[in-house]
């Protein structure tokens, strides 16, 4: 590359960056559009990176997470919370850490835009810093570092020892192999603080995101087409835990057209009295057993099936299908639907996480179609928005 070509490329990139900084805030609402932009930026980076630099970057990926975790637990981000620049000595005085250590860790954090460098050993907050000051998002990092990390580190060796086959049994999968035979849920029982961190992370993750009814027209598809008999069940939330999905659902009076039931294991269910006051029934249920609620208008699952391999999913789906009324009941699956090509990094990373944690998987539309067909179900439509990969799969009994 000649110096003239390099200078022209740099000028073009600077112009694009200046234009990007002027984009309206609602650009973030169009996740699919942003992902297209990010994909082209990644292609530009790849085109200007040598193979050696690319491999070196792969080798150093764990360093960023470790540096963020150090600063998080050392409460360094909290010192930056007031928006004013702080020196390494300021952070040391507030936290007790050595200034030299702070400066060395901050080299990683400023290089990756987690913290802004304002001068020699002088730092300020960035939007990423502010996110990490939120307890829920901070617990997200703790969850992936402390809980997922050991299983992910174990994954290459596990796959090698097991002949490079897709893990199929949570009892013997990579997570259990890394954690002395325990799966995620038994680990939470043994160490409740880990469960609290996970729940905090998941609660924050869901806040401010679109609900399934923003994607799927529940009113016209199920509420207005439900039997009018007294005991009609409108919606069963399978594995619905505390009942948050149904609590949100009943906020619209037009949706109160039948019984609403949340099902989960007894320890996971929300407060029955509180939910009952909102018109929501609680029912202890294990989805690996026959579904006791027959002929409901809709059965709903959110982020259930990605926890499990196909064999287990087939059992869950078959139990649900056996309870559905042909030509009337619907199964609504609120999950990611991956594209066949150009899977965004978040979708690819989540798929690998599910393999390492639960022997589960994120799936493409074709994989969803095959999985549902194996349980006697067919996809009526996959409802999606421009918000990214999250979709609602509408399925019915195969005729």
Active-site residue list = 306
3-class state of residue 334 by DSSP: strand
The span from the CA of 232 to the CA of 298, in Å, is 11
Residues ≥6 apart with Cβ < 8 Å to 185? none
Structure tokens given for 236: 């069963």
Judged by phi (left if over 0) then psi (alpha if -120 to 50, else beta), residue 339 lies in: beta
Q: What angle do CA 203, 208, 214 make, to 5 degrees?
A: 110
How deeply is 147 buried, as exposed, middle or buried, from its count of CB atoms within 10 A (0-12, 13-18, 19+)? buried
Structure tokens given for 363: 């799936």
CA distances to 88, 106, 123 from 118, in Å: 11, 12, 5
Cα 295 from chain centre: 31
DSSP 143: I
The span from the CA of 174 to the CA of 167, in Å, is 8
């Amino acid at each position: 590359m000649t110096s003239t070509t390099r200078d022209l490329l740099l000028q073009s990139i600077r112009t694009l960056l200046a234009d990007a900084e002027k984009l309206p805030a609602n650009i973030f609402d169009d996740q699919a559009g942003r992902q297209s932009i990010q994909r082209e930026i990644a292609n530009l980076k790849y085109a200007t990176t040598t193979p050696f630099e690319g491999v070196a970057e792969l080798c150093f990926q764990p360093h960023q997470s470790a540096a963020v975790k150090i600063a998080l637990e050392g409460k360094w981000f909290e010192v930056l919370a007031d928006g004013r620049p702080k020196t390494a000595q300021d952070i040391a005085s507030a936290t007790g850490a050595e200034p030299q250590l702070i400066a060395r860790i901050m080299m990683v954090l400023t290089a990756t835009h987690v913290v802004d460098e304002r001068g020699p050993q002088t730092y300020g907050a960035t939007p990423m810093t502010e996110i990490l000051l939120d307890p829920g998002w901070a617990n997200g990092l703790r969850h992936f570092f402390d809980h997922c990390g050991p299983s992910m580190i174990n994954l290459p060796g596990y796959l090698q020892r097991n002949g490079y086959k897709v893990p199929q049994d949570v009892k013997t999968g990579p997570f259990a192999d890394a954690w002395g035979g325990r799966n995620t849920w038994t680990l939470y029982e043994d160490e409740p603080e880990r469960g609290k961190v996970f729940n905090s992370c998941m609660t924050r993750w869901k806040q401010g995101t679109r609900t399934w009814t923003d994607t799927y027209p529940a009113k016209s598809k199920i509420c207005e087409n439900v039997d009018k008999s007294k005991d009609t069940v409108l919606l069963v939330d399978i594995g619905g835990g505390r009942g948050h999905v149904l609590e949100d659902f009943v906020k619209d009076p037009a949706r109160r057209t039948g019984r609403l039931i949340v099902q989960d294991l007894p320890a996971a269910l929300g407060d029955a009295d509180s939910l009952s006051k909102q018109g929501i029934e609680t029912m202890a249920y294990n989805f690996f057993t026959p579904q006791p609620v027959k002929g409901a208008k809709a059965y709903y699952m959110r982020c259930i099936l990605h926890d499990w391999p196909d064999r287990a999913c087939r059992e869950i789906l078959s139990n649900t299908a056996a309870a559905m009324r042909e030509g009337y009941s619907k199964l609504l699956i609120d999950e990611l639907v991956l594209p066949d090509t150009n899977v965004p990094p978040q979708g690819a990373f989540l798929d690998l996480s599910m393999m390492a944690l639960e022997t589960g998987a994120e799936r493409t539309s074709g994989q969803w179609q095959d999985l549902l067909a194996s349980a006697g179900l067919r996809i009526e439509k996959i409802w999606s928005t421009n918000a990214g990969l999250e979709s609602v799969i509408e399925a019915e009994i195969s005729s």
